[in-house]
Amino acid sequence: MLVLRVAPALILIGALLGIPAAVMSTSPAHADQVREREYWLQDYGIEAAWSVTKGAGVRIAIIDTGIDGSHPDLLGAVVGGADFSGLGSFNGQTPVGSERRHGTMVASLAAGRGNNGTDGVLGSAPEAQLLSLSMSFGGGLISPDEQIAQAVRFAVDNQADIISLSLTRNTRDWPESWDDAFGYAEDNDVVVIAAAGNRGSGTVAVGAPATMPGVLTVGGVTQEGIASDSASSQGITIGVMAPSEGLVGAIPEGGYVSWSGTSGATPIVAGIVALVRAAYPSMDAANVVNRILATARPVGQSIPDALYGYGLVDAYAAVTAQVPLVDAHPLGTLDEWVTLHRRLEGSSIVVPLGPTNVAEEAPKTADRVIAAAPDTRRDTLPYVVTGIFAVLLLLVLASGTGLAWLRRGKR
């Protein structure tokens, strides 16, 4: 997974939180060894789901370092793209940056087609189409944040059904430019999938875009299905878990590499989402995501679980199970979040406490009075009591004087 640092500058530190940190071996694996190492194709119901669909007609946008579409396993998969760094080629198929292999690795696990029938990497959706949207995490003409915002909008405008993001900002928050870009994807029924990050690469807690409402966040497990200590971060926004250890992927110029990280788990799930979208072409994004969550195999103490989310993703169940339709997105919506939170940021909230000097600030006309008139009974009570007492005293004294006068008169 790629990591974007926000201080002092945004940089890439590796595969799904860093390629160098996540690549377990830099020695290319031979093509005839690759297929047999893709244990997740069987263990997570992907091969079984292919009896229903292989994702034909669905388009996945990979926002990353660029995809080498000339790799034998990706021939014909990349149908378009663009570069947002100013460093690559116009079609996004020239890998850029110091970790240039990352985008090709990610793409192969989403929609790799293999080669020679039995060799090479097969993605979860081997008949899906790919958009290669290249960006640079350590440079470029504009900031990585803005590159991502532009890439998301391009993906939507170029008929992407799914956007896959094997990257993180390493912070829970995100720039306001993402509000508009990701909101645009949401409004156009695009499923957005993001990696949780890798603790082994320094990401202890899930960061944006995996913290954004409506985004399907993918955490990682070992080959035994246990939450990975090194190749997955933790966070309450995790939706499902997928393999993040013992992975193999294609790299530019025809090679292969062993690697680990939620950078790989994310495109595996992106391909499974493509299978669901192909199997249910009229289904909206909310229900597509709901099928992924509802059919996951529970692992933790509750659903969702603080560590495993809704559980281990299950491709076959996702495309075949009976799942009731929902009216609202199970992971919330970004538009609602922006309405409730972003628009209040920076706005002063004035709480009227009333005038500090009634004589000077009280309204002069009744129709401008918006506060209740003050209760003056307590303020005047001491004076009323004192006045009454004085009157009574005078009466007593007067009565005493009158009686004395009457007695003198009788004499």
For the chain, residues with pLDDT lower than 50 are 5-27, 346-386, 388-394, 396-398, 401-411
pLDDT of residue 172: 87
Express each pLDDT in 335-382 by its tens digit: 998 988 876 554 333 333 322 233 333 333 223 222 333 333 334 444
Q: How far is CA 409 from the centre of its chain?
A: 104
User: For residues 16 and 235, is the Cβ–Cβ distance under 8 A?
Assistant: no
Per-residue pLDDT tens over the stretch 101-120: 999 999 999 999 999 888 99
Paired with 59 in beta bridges are 129
Chain-centroid distance of CA 247 in Å reads 24
> Any catalytic annotation for residue 329?
no
Domain locations in the chain as residue ranges: 2-344
Radius of gyration of the chain, Cα coordinates, nearest whole angstrom: 34
Report the distance separating Cα 182 and Cα 366, nearest Å: 50
Residue 312: its pLDDT value, please?
A: 97
| DSSP code of residue 388 | H
**Whether the Cβ atoms of residue 130 and residue 62 lie closer than 8 Å to each other:** yes
Among residues 68, 71, 102, 179, the one annotated as catalytic is: 102
Looking at residue 307, its pLDDT comes to: 87
Confirm whether 64 is a catalytic residue. Answer: yes
Which residue among the candidates 244, 258, 263, 314 is catalytic per the annotation? Answer: 263
pLDDT at 170: 80
Written as six digits, the tokens of 47 are 């091969």
* CATH architecture of the domain formed by 2-344: 3-Layer(aba) Sandwich (3.40)
Give residues with Cβ within 8 angstroms of 290, minimum separation 6: 323, 325, 326, 329, 330
Q: What is the pLDDT of residue 183?
A: 97
